[in-house]
Structure 1
């Protein structure tokens, strides 16, 4: 207990006498802890997808890259599932999903930029909460 008190008193004296150095150290420590927490949150977010699914290790996602602006989209051409089934026999089940942003009219009421998805008939087989 005495050594802890001595350690705290010595460090407080150093902080008081070397204010610039202490300020730089505290700012550096704060930035380091903040960056570490942000990295931890990002890694946790990226590794948590489909973690509720018992077959999560066998689920893969194909994304589409737009060559014009380099953006990534979570959709695939509908014909891609046939190609994947043919070229990769280890892929047991494959579905395609095409994202859409359209204008829809219902009873003369217009809805702009409705987001939706066009999927194959077998899409419901992938949803474990429906089975």
Structure 2
């Protein structure tokens, strides 16, 4: 029986390398309005194994393409504190606080992958 391939965990560095590899092979990548990864391999340059890897990482690639790296954003901090909390999805120690409920509440998201980390200030709807 043929064993399914084992893929390493998705990391920001891995997604950057994978997107560079795919673009070097002429594969067009983009994210739909619904957040799905769309890719075009018009010349069929991808092998079945390459297509399987793209399928495996499709959600991570879509997240990577939809959100530019925080280090490239203007005004981003130079280095996060390595002893602080880290995102359990991507390992980043950078977090951003987003105002919600017209500024009444604050949501804390990972600065790299966008995963929600909590609500340091909550003034949501009362039950």
TM-score bracket for this pair, using the shorter chain length: under 0.3
Please identify which structure carries the higher helix content.
1
Larger Rg: 1
**TM-score, structure 1 normalization:** 0.20
**TM-score, structure 2 normalization:** 0.20
